[in-house]
Amino acid sequence: MRKKTRIFQPKLSWLAIPFALIFIAYFVVPLILTLIVSFWDYTEYSIIPDFIFGNYVYIFQGCFSFEDGLCLTFKTYISTFFFCFFTWLITLLLGFSVAYFLAFYVNSLPLQITLFLICTIPFWTSNVIRMVSWIPLLGRNGLVNETLISFGLIQEPIEWLLYSSFSVVLALVHLYTLFMIVPIFNSMLRIDKEVIEAAYDSGANQFQIITNVIIPLCKPGIIIGSIFVITVVMGDFLTIGIMGGQQLASIGKIINTEMNYLQLPGAAANSVILLLITIFIIIVMTKFIDIRKEL
Amino acid sequence: MKYKNLSTISRRKMLKLGAGTSAAAITALYAPSVISSDPITLRYLGTAVSMGDEVQKKLFEDTGLKVKFIAVTTDEVTKRVLTQPNSFDLVDTEYFSLPKLVPSGNILGMDTKRIKEWDNVTSIFTKGVTPSGKKVGLQGTAPSKVMYLEGSTGKKFANDVTQYATLIPTIYNADTLGIRPDLIGRPINSWAELLNPEFKGKAATLNIPSIGIMDAAMVVEAMGEYTYPDKGNMTKDEIDLTMKIFTEAKKAGQFRAFWTDFNESVNLMASGEVVIQSMWSPAITAVKSQGKDCVYQPLKEGYRAWAAGFALPKTTKGKTADAVYEFVNWYLSGWVGAYLNRQGYYSAVLPTAKQYMSEDEWGFWMEGKAAKGDILSPTGAKLASAGEKRDGGSYEDRMGGVACWNATMDENKYMVRKWNEMVAS
Question: pLDDT tens, B138-153?
Answer: 999 999 999 999 888 8
Task: Judge: A249–B423 Cβ closer than 8 Å, yes or no.
Answer: yes
Tell me, yes or no, whether B208 and B328 share the same domain: no
Q: How far apart are CA B358 and CA B343, in angstroms?
A: 14
Tell me, yes or no, whether B311 and B193 share the same domain: no
Provide the CATH number for the domain around residue B38: 3.40.190.10
- Tell me which residue range forms the domain holding B393: 175-303+370-424
Tell me, yes or no, whether B201 and B298 share the same domain: yes
Q: Which residues contact B243 (CB under 8 A, 6 or more apart)?
A: B216, B418, B419, B421, B422
Tell me, yes or no, whether B26 and B122 share the same domain: yes
Tell me, yes or no, whether B299 and B325 share the same domain: no
* A192 domain-assigned: yes
Tell me, yes or no, whether B299 and B385 share the same domain: yes
Task: Judge: A139–B104 Cβ closer than 8 Å, yes or no.
Answer: no
What parts of chain A have a pLDDT lower than 50?
1
* Structural domain count, chain A: 1
By the 8 A CB rule, do B392 and B292 touch? no
Tell me, yes or no, whether B167 and B192 share the same domain: no
For position A290, what pLDDT does the model report? 67
Q: Alpha helix locations (H) across B192-235? A: 209-222
Tell me, yes or no, whether B22 and B161 share the same domain: yes
Write out pLDDT tens, residues B319-374: 899 999 999 999 999 999 999 999 889 999 999 999 999 999 999 999 999 999 99
For position B116, what pLDDT does the model report? 93
Q: Which residues contact B91 (CB under 8 A, 6 or more apart)?
A: B44, B45, B46, B77, B80, B81, B107, B310, B311, B312, B313
* A74 domain-assigned: yes
Q: Which residues of B touch A139 (CB under 8 A)?
A: 271, 273
Tell me, yes or no, whether B251 and B180 share the same domain: yes
* B360 domain-assigned: no
For position A48, what pLDDT does the model report? 87
Chain A contact for B290 (CB, 8 A cutoff): no
Full DSSP string of A14-67: HHTHHHHHHHIIIIIHHHHHHHHHTT-EE-SSBEE-----HHHHHHTTTTTT-T
* A83 domain-assigned: yes
Give the C-alpha distances (Å, rounded to integers) separating A46 from A208, A254, B146, B407, B412: 62, 20, 20, 19, 14
Q: Alpha helix locations (H) across chain A? A: 12-15, 17-23, 29-37, 54-59, 72-100, 109-120, 127-132, 135-138, 143-150, 165-189, 193-201, 206-208, 215-235, 238-243, 251-260, 264-288, 291-294
Picking from B51, B153, B170, B43, the residue whose alpha carbon sits closest to that of residue B107 is: B153
Largest CA distance in chain A: 78
Chain A contact for B74 (CB, 8 A cutoff): no
* B109 domain-assigned: yes
Write out pLDDT tens, residues B234-283: 999 999 999 999 999 999 999 999 998 888 899 999 999 999 999 988 88
CA torsion A161-A167-A173-A174 (nearest 10°) is 70
- Tell me which residue range forms the domain holding A77: 70-294
Identify the contact set of chain A against chain B, taking CB-CB distances under 8 A.
25-26, 29-30, 33, 37, 41, 43-50, 58, 72, 75-76, 79, 135-136, 139-142, 159, 162-163, 241-242, 245-249, 253-254, 257-258, 260-264
CA torsion B413-B414-B415-B419 (nearest 10°) is 110
* B202 domain-assigned: yes
Tell me, yes or no, whether B100 and B197 share the same domain: no
* A202 domain-assigned: yes
* Structural domain count, chain B: 2
CA distance B2 to chain A (A): 6
Chain A contact for B423 (CB, 8 A cutoff): yes
Q: How far apart are CA B314 and CA B320, in angstroms?
A: 12
* B1 domain-assigned: no
CA torsion B92-B95-B96-B101 (nearest 10°) is 70
Task: Judge: A245–B256 Cβ closer than 8 Å, yes or no.
Answer: yes
By the 8 A CB rule, do B147 and B125 touch? yes
Provide the CATH number for the domain around residue A113: 1.10.3720.10
Residue type, B305: A
Tell me, yes or no, whether B319 and B385 share the same domain: no
* B36 domain-assigned: yes
By the 8 A CB rule, do B46 and B70 touch? yes
Q: pTM to 2 decimals? A: 0.80
Strand partners, B304: B175, B404
* B361 domain-assigned: no
ipTM: 0.76
Tell me, yes or no, whether B414 and B283 share the same domain: yes
